[in-house]
Amino acid sequence: MASLTINGRQYELDVPDNMPLLWVIRDVVGMKGTKFGCGIAQCGACTVHIDGVATRSCVTPVSAVTGEVNTIEAMAEDPVGKKVQQAWLDLGVAQCGYCQGGQIMNATGLLKSNPEPDTQEIIDAMAGNLCRCGTYNRILAAIERAAGKEVSS
Amino acid sequence: MSQSDDTLLLANVSRRGILKGLAGASALLLAARWGTAFANEKAQFGAGAMPGGWIDNPNVFIQIDSDGLVTFINNRAEMGQGIRTSLAMVAADELGADWDRVRVKQAPADQEKFGNQNTDGSRSMRHWYDPIRRAGAAARLMLEQAAANEWGVPVSEVRTEVHKVVHPATGRELGFGQLAGPARDLDVPGRNALFLKSDNELRFIGKESGLVNGELTSAHPKAVDGQDIVTGKAVFGADVDLEDMLYAVIARPPVYGAEIKSVDDSAALKVTGVKKVIRIKTANQPAAFNPLGGVAVVATNTWAAMEGRKALKIEWNLDAAGDNADYTSDAYREMLEKRAQSPGKVIRQSGDVEAALKDADQRVSATYYMPHMAQSPMEPPAAIVRMSDGKAEAWAPVQNPRATRDGVAGMLGIDRENVTVHQTLLGGGFGRKSKPDFVSEAARIAKEFEGQPVKLQWSREDDVQHSYYHAVSVDHLDAGLDANGKATAWRHRTLSPSITSLFAPDPKHIGEFEQGMGFNTMPFDIPSIRLENPPAPAHVRIGWFRSVYNLPHAWAIQSFAHELAEAAGRDHRDYVLELLGPDRKVQNLTVGDGWNYGENPDLYPIDIGRMRRVVERATEEAGWGRDMPKGRGLGLAFHNSFVSYTAIVFEVEVDESGELTIHRADIAFDCGPQANPERIRSQMEGACVMGIGIALKSEITFEDGVAQQSNFDKYLIPRMPDAPKVVRVHLIDNPGDGMGGVGEPGLPPVAPALCNAIYAATGKRIRRLPVGDQLKS
């Protein structure tokens, strides 16, 4: 039995302790915005927030989750997440879009802990999130825009 | 999407009625303007030559509700190229629709109704721009006619403004929604009655918008899926959720063609949630799009299925795989390199290469290697199939809905008409999802669960270890230079397994379409040329990977051209412009290319002038020729593919420890007319990053037939720190030529341009990809 708070809602779930949070969110709770990309914390498509900290849900056993979980579906209600989403739209970041939820979750996590990151800090923080379409330049520009900087690349 | 009874359902018009327009003079004018004939039947080239051809009936693509909502039915797969947005823009612009009142609905697999749906070969806009503009124009004319009827005035007195039809003489106006009902009863006008908007009347088509080289320009018609993507609501293959759904994964044979010897599933069946274990027969080789076989574990959620799979004990019969079980990459590369020293099947020949090589003042030789790669879209393959009462319904992210439908029908032994395929968004494709093997796998499993949907999920390990791999390749080149450094002889041997080995007994030689991807279409003006193709067998599934055989051919040819410039002591740009020779249009057949991406070679020749212009533009924008500090260099490469032209200049820096920094990329691109420049730029930017990965990191190797990489920890693809600090895309304004492809042509010149830049910075020549740690040694 797992007790979870996801996007402000309480869930009591009959799932094995070792089941990764990713599959709990996707298959048991049924929210599909959090994506499966690699299963070994190499791509970041599954990124969620636990107490506001960007976390790879594919390697986080549900039994290890003690804090409040937020997913991409909740970011429109999050002041930082909303800004990041808007910057993504303004700059036309997404191509296929599959990884972008995880990118936005990671970027939002970054801006929550470091509201004015410099370029290198953004690159370092985003290095764990893969995008096969290759939208990195626009992701970087969008994070800078969300952080209040002018578009620079 | 809503689809009320008031939806504009345009009256069906007979085929004869449509074709009648062909006789009209204005139709001929339109045909001339578009560079294509209207006759869909018997077309030899272009969209009309594709299975299913093109459709331009507005009935099929445009619906208008009584509340004014316009629904565009998109028939092509969306995999990040932005086609749902771009084609809808084309329709909306010609129709006169307000972008904020346009919705896009995805067509199911139905090639008879929607025309060709195989989203591959950079064809979507190139083949559908004209038909969709005509559909938009026809719908607009019907709305205008409905308004004219309502007002009792000649249609010539009314005109369309944004989302309404107006009668300027009296100031009357009616909205699209008000006109939808009356327009529904009208006949679809013949093509000879259509007037396309002139360029100055267009609001979206060809307009720069969004982010242009660092500047945010006008508000773009926002991407139709943008909001859903950033809020997590966009539905990709695995996101389809059906009641009572089961979840499956498959343990596939480790070697291509191996079969199950024995399975002990007792532990797997004890895993909580596991429902059933199913043995799937290994397909006969060549396997085409059929499942590889293996053991499926079906459970109540994905994790349980994966845990169950881990608990399987499977013995494989490797003998069934034949010599695929001996396939080892190092040995294979050595074999190809050895074969490259001997003549092969002659593909193209002019002059006497052997004599010219002998007479040359200087001879240059080089051998280039490019490894296998997996497309690895971020969304691994996934599909859902439900079988009931002899009918199947599938939901899947596929590039080729028709092949998907046929694959499922074949797997289940039912007629195509009894298979429905719903097209979801694709979380990337890059050619992997052109092969619907994973949907056939889901169908095979669903067959055992009458009425219950089964979702098959590929893990990343499945994807990396059981891909349809990009062909491994060795290219060996010899050239002779005269005393002035001018090339007099060019001999190129290319060796790689062929994609045709998927569909027929392995020919061991590349096919015409593979030769036509930059090999026999090599553009240089050299007196003696011989192109050869020694044999190379396939031991794994070989498949399309974005830009396909253009990758090795451009990599070798563009690297070698730089080596010749160096040997001649000349500036690289000046030298390749001389190699290209005078501006001219080379008819593809004259170089043995009867394929030309399916396009008419008279309309789409190999245009040396366009090639020169992209080289000049990229080098100018990059500041070619300026002094570079130590450790910095500029590198150039160019290539034409998918009837478009690309040149790239990289500025790189390599420090003393061998650390590479890519400071800037300048990309010049000429695809002829541009429908949506904003998405063209994004495709060029993305191709640049993907190409950097090909150059620096990506490699799949095999030992005894088994892929040695299984996930992104070992199969490396580019990350944000690998991207250039600055990417600039320079679109060539060229509305006069035929429209070219966009999704793929940005990729082939990336790796050679980057390696040429590395040479300029360090003097180190890269001939084997990926670069890996070669700069560190």
CB B157 within 8 A of CB B169: yes
At B460, the pLDDT band (50, 70, 90 cuts) reads very high
Closest partner CB to A88 (pick from B220, B230, B232): B230
Q: Judge whether residue B220 has pLDDT over 70.
A: no
Closest partner CB to B712 (pick from A43, A73, A88): A43
Backbone dihedral region for residue B271 (phi beyond 0: left; psi -120 to 50: alpha; all else: beta)? beta
Task: Compute the CA torsion angle B555, B468, B420, B741 (nearest 10 deg).
Answer: 0
At B23, the pLDDT band (50, 70, 90 cuts) reads very low
User: Does A52 share its domain with A97?
Assistant: no
Q: Largest alpha-carbon pair distance within chain A? A: 49
SS3 B212: strand
Closest partner CB to A85 (pick from B231, B247, B713): B231
**Which residues, other chains included, contact B505 with Cβ-Cβ below 8 Å and sequence gap of 6+?**
B286
SS3 B359: helix
The alpha carbon of residue A139 is apart from the nearest alpha carbon of chain B, in Å, by: 9
At B21, the pLDDT band (50, 70, 90 cuts) reads very low
User: Does A59 share its domain with A89?
Assistant: no
Contact A96 B377 (CB under 8 A): yes
Q: What is the pLDDT of residue B218?
A: 78
Burial class (CB in 10 A: 0-12, 13-18, 19+), B42: exposed
In the listed set A14, A47, A72, which residue is the last one of a domain according to the structure?
Answer: A72
The alpha carbon of residue B718 is apart from the nearest alpha carbon of chain A, in Å, by: 7
Phi/psi for A16 (5° steps) reads -65, 150
Q: Give me the helices (H) in B606-656, please.
A: 608-622
Q: What is the pLDDT of residue B11?
A: 30
**pLDDT tens profile B388-398:** 999 999 999 99
Phi/psi for B120 (5° steps) reads -165, 155
User: Does A68 share its domain with A83?
Assistant: no
Residue A10, domain CATH: 3.10.20.30
Q: Which residue of B has its CA nearest to A59?
A: B303
Distance of CA B9 to the CA centre of its chain: 33
The alpha carbon of residue B233 is apart from the nearest alpha carbon of chain A, in Å, by: 6
User: Does A68 share its domain with A116?
Assistant: no
Q: Where are the beta strands (DSSP E) in B320-396?
A: 345-350, 362-370, 382-388, 391-396
* Segment B724-743 mean pLDDT: 97
Q: What is the pLDDT of residue B214?
A: 87
In the listed set A45, A72, A99, which residue is the last one of a domain according to the structure?
Answer: A72
Amino acid making up residue B771: V
Distance of CA A35 to the CA centre of its chain: 10
- Which tokens belong to B417? 């008409």
A residues 89-128 lying closer than 8 A (beta carbon) to B: 89-92, 94-101, 104, 123-124, 126-128
Which CATH architecture describes the domain B340-374+468-762? 2-Layer Sandwich (3.30)
Query: What is the C-alpha separation between B181 and B197, in angstroms, rounded?
Result: 24
User: Does A89 share its domain with A67?
Assistant: no
Closest partner CB to B688 (pick from A71, A123, A134): A134
Q: What is the pLDDT of residue B33?
A: 38
Task: Compute the CA torsion angle A113, A115, A116, A118 (nearest 10 deg).
Answer: 40
At B217, the pLDDT band (50, 70, 90 cuts) reads confident
**pLDDT tens profile B632-679:** 999 999 999 999 999 999 999 999 999 999 999 999 999 999 999 999
Q: What is the pLDDT of residue B43?
A: 85
B residues 367-406 lying closer than 8 A (beta carbon) to A: 376-380
At B18, the pLDDT band (50, 70, 90 cuts) reads very low
At B38, the pLDDT band (50, 70, 90 cuts) reads low
Asked whether residue A111 is domain-assigned, the answer is yes
Closest partner CB to A132 (pick from B82, B378, B721): B378
Contact A19 B723 (CB under 8 A): no
Q: What is the pLDDT of residue B12?
A: 30
B270 touches chain A (CB under 8 A): no
Q: What is the pLDDT of residue A60?
A: 98
Q: What is the pLDDT of residue B221?
A: 77
Domain boundaries, chain B: 15-226, 237-321+381-457, 340-374+468-762
**pLDDT tens profile B620-630:** 999 999 999 99
- Tell me the average pLDDT of chain A: 96
Asked whether residue A33 is domain-assigned, the answer is yes
Strands B454-457 and B382-388: antiparallel
CB B104 within 8 A of CB B63: no
Query: What is the C-alpha separation between A40 and A88, in angstroms, rounded?
Result: 26
In the listed set A20, A44, A72, which residue is the last one of a domain according to the structure?
Answer: A72
Q: Judge whether residue B170 has pLDDT over 50.
A: yes
The alpha carbon of residue A14 is apart from the nearest alpha carbon of chain B, in Å, by: 11
Q: What is the pLDDT of residue B17?
A: 30
Q: Residue A127's domain spans which residues?
A: 74-146
Asked whether residue A151 is domain-assigned, the answer is no
Q: What is the pLDDT of residue A69?
A: 98
Q: What DSSP line would sit under A79-107, residue for residue?
A: HHHHHHHHHHHHTT--SS-TTHHHHHHHH
At A149, the pLDDT band (50, 70, 90 cuts) reads confident
Q: Judge whether residue B15 has pLDDT over 90.
A: no
B690 touches chain A (CB under 8 A): yes
**In CATH, which of 3.40.225.10, 2.115.10.20, 3.40.50.740, 3.30.365.10 is domain B237-321+381-457?**
3.30.365.10
A residues 46-75 lying closer than 8 A (beta carbon) to B: 71-73, 75
Query: What is the C-alpha separation between B483 and B569, in angstroms, rounded?
Result: 11
**pLDDT tens profile B670-697:** 999 999 999 999 999 999 999 999 999 9
Q: What are the C-alpha distances in Å from A106 to residues A30, A85, B17, B55, B613?
A: 21, 12, 57, 43, 41
User: Who has greater pLDDT, B185 or B755?
Assistant: B755
Domain total for chain A? 2
Asked whether residue A141 is domain-assigned, the answer is yes
Which residues does chain B have within 8 Å of residue A101's beta carbon, measured at their own beta carbons? 229-230, 232
Please name which of B497, B464, B534 lies closest in space to residue B323, comparing C-alpha atoms.
B497
Q: What is the pLDDT of residue B442?
A: 98
Contact B430 A132 (CB under 8 A): yes
Closest partner CB to B301 (pick from A23, A94, A134): A23
* Segment B157-165 mean pLDDT: 98
Residue A124, domain CATH: 1.10.150.120
B247 touches chain A (CB under 8 A): yes
Query: What is the C-alpha separation between B51 and A47, in angstroms, rounded?
Result: 41
Percentage of residues of chain B with pLDDT beyond 90: 92
- Range with the lowest mean pLDDT among A139-153, B48-62, B152-166, B231-245? A139-153
B residues 74-133 lying closer than 8 A (beta carbon) to A: 78-82
Strands B274-280 and B172-175: unpaired
Q: What is the pLDDT of residue B316?
A: 98
B717 touches chain A (CB under 8 A): yes
* Segment A14-33 mean pLDDT: 97
- pTM to 2 decimals? 0.95
CATH of domain B15-226: 3.30.365.10
Cβ–Cβ pairs < 8 A, chains A and B: 204
Query: What is the C-alpha separation between B113 and B95, in angstroms, rounded?
Result: 21
Query: What is the C-alpha separation between B398 and B376, in angstroms, rounded?
Result: 14
Topology agreement, domain B15-226 and domain B237-321+381-457: yes
User: Does A63 share its domain with A101?
Assistant: no
Q: What DSSP line would sit under B233-251, residue for residue?
A: ---BGGG---TT-EEEEEE
Query: What is the C-alpha separation between B274 and B633, in angstroms, rounded?
Result: 58
Q: What is the pLDDT of residue B215?
A: 87
Closest partner CB to A76 (pick from B216, B231, B718): B231
Contact B232 A33 (CB under 8 A): yes
CB B761 within 8 A of CB B652: yes
B residues 301-320 lying closer than 8 A (beta carbon) to A: 301-303
User: Does A35 share its domain with A92?
Assistant: no
**pLDDT tens profile A101-130:** 999 999 999 999 999 999 999 999 999 999
* Segment A128-152 mean pLDDT: 92
**pLDDT tens profile B86-104:** 999 999 999 999 999 999 9
